[in-house]
Each structure stands twice: as structure tokens, then as C-alpha cells.
Structure 1
Amino acid sequence: MATLEVEGLTKSFGGVRAVQGVTFAVEPGEMLALIGPNGAGKSTCFNMLNGQLRPDAGRVRLMGRDITGIAPRQVWRLGVGRTFQITATFGSMTVLENVQMALLSHHRRLGQLWRPVARMDAAPARALLDRLGMADQAARPCGILAYGDLKRVELAIALANEPKLLLMDEPTAGMAPQERVSLMALTADIARESGIAVLFTEHDMDVVFSHADRILVLDRGRLIAEGEPAVVRADPKVREVYLGSGAVTGAH
């Protein structure tokens, strides 16, 4: 069974059809990239999957369950993690405390916050940070971290939910080239080891073509191409509307 199934997803704003009849699926352990020019409908699509926007038409199913239009907190409860283009962490709290908060939410124990977070069992959060190469940053406030480190913290927060599906909106935006490669390689390893389905948007085509198992291409709200990286790279229509004539250097 596919982890995520999207069927005929459609959304309009006034007279503008931002997403038009988009259909696709993501399998367990798969890295699926959603790419396209600015204004193609990628963010709108993501926001419908995560419950921030209700589609005008179409269906979203998670592990066979219809989750169309339910609230983001309910989507989280059902096993969907998300990272954002602009990182979303508690800047005054430490790296460890941010991950502990996510773990408390996952286990529905936020009522325990009357106890100081520092006195809670830190082992699960430390294990996650160690897996992501952030153990040495555990005691630092998120507000003073380098941007690449913040991206890793946000990934740890998403993984604390033990997601079946991970949605990543431009996960390497603002990162140095080597940081981008490292983060996406780590994400791919975790996804395949744990059977997590990953759907990500990304403007860095080297990242996309190096780490995606399959690629979807949106243009003006419609899917214009879908397939393995080599197939999408060679598609004349994709090259015309997005990739251009220059070669993409990344290899899958």
C-alpha cells in the first residue's frame, strides 16, 4: 500500500487555478521530489496535504485513510512530519528542549509541561540528535545556531513524531552546498531504513537529481511530467518550462 495517495487535487484562488487535478502516490521509503517554476503550485499542494488549505476537489489518503482537509494537528497525530522553507523552532529553548517538546507532543504528554523540560528523560531526544550529528549542539539555544544546524534540528523535530510520511518544503534553502548534500543523504538513509515516505520540494536541481527516486514536475498547477530522474531530465517539455538547456550536473 502506498503511504500517500493524492487523487485529482484542485485548488483555486479567485479566478486563478493554483493546482489542477494533481494525482500521484508516494511509497514507503521513497524519496519523491516535487519541482517546478515559481508559481507552479508546489506550496499550495503541500499546504493541502498538510491540512493548512482545504482542496476544492480531490482526495488525500494516508495509509488508505482519507485525510482530506483535516486540521494540521490531526495530520500530525496520524503520522505526518513536516519541515518548512523558513525554519520553525523555539529560538529561546535549547536544541534538546525543542526535540523534547516534539516527543511530548507525539506521545500526547504536553500536559506534563508543568514540570521543567530539563528534568524530563532526555535519552530519546539525545538519540535523535546523535543520529543527525547534532549531539554536540544539544545545550545551545536554537536562536544562536547557524542556519544549516537549524535545518537539522527541524528534521529532528519532524522525526520525533515517528512519521509515516515526511513533507519537506525546500529542505536545503539557505544552506551551503556541502551541507545540502549531507542533509539530503542523511534524510534518504533514514527514510529507507525506517520505511518513511518523503515528499520534498527543492530548487537546487543537483540535490533533486542526486537524491530523488522519482520526480514530479508542476507547471501552472498541472503535472507535466513524472518519472525517474533520467527520464525527467530528458523530457523536452520539462527542459522548456523549467530546466532550460543547461545540463543538470547531479546524478542519481
Structure 2
Amino acid sequence: MTLLAVDRLTKRFGGVLAAKDVSFALNVGEMLAIIGPNGAGKSTTFNMVGGQLRPDGGRVTLAGQDVTGLPPRQVCRLGVGRTFQVAQTFLSFTVLGNVQMALIAHHRQTRRLLANAAAMHREAALALLDRVGMAAQAARPVGELAYGDVKRVELAIALAAAPRLLLMDEPTAGMAPAERAALMALVAGIARQEGIGVLFTEHDMDAVFAHADRILVLVRGEIIARGTPEEVRADPEVQRVYLGHSGTRAAARARRAADG
């Protein structure tokens, strides 16, 4: 079942065509990766879907509703969660407090903050933290955590909005290899169990080949290839302009991991 449909998205910055007629669909419970070299148009496409950029042409549809050009807050209200390349959290708040704040915002209860914020949505927040493996650290300030754990807290914050679609911008950036694998496995499990579509950009080809159901390859603002990880890895043009031998090695590692 199609959750997100992107049709011929186009964006110019002056004389630079950053995205040209970008079209794709994302299904419920699917992990779709957008990859490509620096300057390929990944972030531009990603930000048009999330509302940070208004496209010059094209259309974005979420569960049949046209969301083209809506601001990020409205997009979020329609069931879109997001994580960022640099984790967005309140470092001085506790892990639990961060997720409670997200739930309070989701339920539009910010006017009640001064009265009893510490008691609001406590059980729901703890359940989300348990879902991402962070319940044991609920009382710790986020600023004391290892960066991999901060990214898990950010994931819980995104899930607090009960998203149908999760946008993840470089989710493993700044993380150690073992942390990257664990986070992406967690996201993939949540996506499939809860029917959340995940659109992510990523430079770590190990994460892409191990966890994406399908991949889009962007070069100079245009999609040059799309398909399963195996299809993309075997594409001669993708090999020539982007993956090279690194894609072959990453795919081999992904297969070994899948085989146990």
C-alpha cells in the first residue's frame, strides 16, 4: 500500500537545478534509502518532502493527501516524524523529560507545562524509551549520554508523534560501526512491526545495503537508478559514478550479516 507518492519534484537555486523531475513511491512499512555523491540533490529532495523547502514544481502526496509545500509543523501534524543528521534534543533535560516534552507537544498541551510537566505522559514516554532500549537511562540528562544513545532518544522523540512516515537524515552520522548497525536494525524492526514508512538518506553503504528494502540513486539532481539493494549494486552506471568497489564490499558484508 502506497504511503508517500512523490511526483516530478523540481527545485532550482538560482541557476543550479538541484532536483529535476524526482519521482518515487514509498509503501507502508518499507525502508527506502536515497543515496548519491555530495551535491546530488538528496537533502534538497528530502527537505521538499518534509516541508523545509517548497518545490518549484511537482507534487508530494501522503496517504492520498496533497502536502506539497506545507510548512514542517503542518506536515508533522499529518503524521510525519523526523530525525536529523545532528541529533535535536534538550541536553540539559533528562532522557524521560525529552520524550515527555515531545508527547506534550504532540497532544498540544504546552500551556500546561508550568503546572505539572514532570507528571504528564510519563508512562507513555517510558514505553517509548523501552521500545528504543533506553528505559534504563530515563533519569539521566541527555548531555551525559554517548552519542549513539542520544540518537536512540531522538528516535523515541520522533515516535512520540505516532508517525505514519519517518524521515531520517543521515541517521548514523557520527556513530561507531556497531552503533550504526544496532540503530538501523532497531529502526527497521519498528518500521515493519508498526507499519511506518521510512525514507532516509545515508552515506554508510553498510547501513543502506543491510536495511533498505529499495534504494534511489541521485546524481546531479536526477534519479539514475532505483531498485532493490542487489539491483542497485549491480547497476553499471551506479558503479561508475558512485559506488565503485565500496558498494560491492558493503553488499557482501550485508549478505554475510543476513546469513548470520
- TM-score, normalised with respect to structure 1: 0.97
The answer to whether residue 243 in structure 2 is matched with residue 250 in structure 1 is: no
Tell me, which stretches of 5 or more residues in structure 1 are unaligned? none
In structure 1, how many angstroms separate the alpha carbons of the residues matched to 2:140 and 2:245?
A: 45
* 1:161 Cα offset (Å): 0.6
Assess if the C-alpha contact under 8 Å between 2:129 and 2:138 holds in 1: yes
Determine helix, strand or coil for the equivalent of 1:200. strand
Q: Percent identity?
A: 67
Paired amino acid for 1:182 = A
CA–CA distance in 1 between the matches of 2:89 and 2:121? 20
CA shift for structure 1 position 144: 2.1
**Conserved in 1, the CA contact under 8 Å of 2:166 and 2:198?**
yes
1:6–1:121 CA distance, 2 compared to 1 (3 A): closer
What's the secondary structure of 1:19's corresponding residue? strand
SS in 1 for 2:254: coil
Consecutive unaligned residues in structure 2, runs of 5 or more: none
Q: 1:38 aligns to what?
A: 38
Structure 1 residue 120 displacement after superposition: 2.2
Offset of residue 145 of structure 1 = 1.5
Q: Determine the structure 1 residue equivalent to 2:113.
A: 113
**Secondary structure of the corresponding residue to residue 5 of structure 1:** strand
Partner of 2:47 in structure 1?
47
Given that residues 85 and 173 in structure 2 are in contact (C-alpha distance below 8 angstroms), is that contact kept between their aligned partners in structure 1?
yes
* Residue 225 (str. 1) matches residue 192 (str. 2): no
Q: Distance in 2 between matches of 1:209 and 1:223?
A: 18
Q: Distance in 2 between matches of 1:124 and 1:50?
A: 26
Say whether 1:190 aligns with 2:190: yes
Deviation per residue, 1:83-139 (Å, 9 max, x gap): 000111111111111101111122222222122421324100000101111011111
Would you say the 8 A contact 1:205–1:250 is kept in 2?
no
* Structure 1 partner of 2:208: 208
What's the counterpart of residue 89 of structure 2? 89
Residues 62-91 of structure 1, C-alpha deviations (whole Å, 9 max, x = no match): 001000011100011000000000111111
Contact 1:3 1:27 in 2 (8 A): yes
The one-letter amino acid paired with 1:20 is K
Shift of 1:245: 3.0
Aligned position for 2:10: 10
Structure 2 CA distance, aligned partners of 1:89 and 1:134? 14
Check whether the contact 2:32–2:199 (CA below 8 A) recurs between aligned residues.
Answer: yes
Aligned equivalents of 1:3, 1:244: Cα separation in 2: 32
Q: RMSD over aligned Cα, in angstroms?
A: 1.1
TM-superposed CA distance for 1:197, in Å, is 0.3
Q: Structure 1: which amino acid aligns with 2:27?
A: E
**CA–CA separation in structure 1 for the residues paired with 2:170 and 2:219:** 17
Amino acid at match of 2:220: R
The structure carrying a bigger helix percent of its residues is: 2
The size of the alignment, in residue pairs, is 252
SS state at 2:2 partner: coil
1:124 alignment partner in structure 2? 124
Counterpart AA for 1:147: Y
Contact 1:7 1:60 in 2 (8 A): yes
**Residue-by-residue CA offset, 1:23-80 (whole Å, 9 max, x unaligned):** 0000000000100001101111111111111000000000010000111000110000
Shifted more, 133-142 versus 21-30: the winner is 133-142
* Rounded Cα–Cα distance in structure 2 between residues aligned with 1:131 and 1:54: 34
Letter in structure 1 aligned against 2:223: L
After TM superposition, the structure 1 stretch with the greater mean CA deviation from structure 2, 161-170 or 239-248, is 239-248
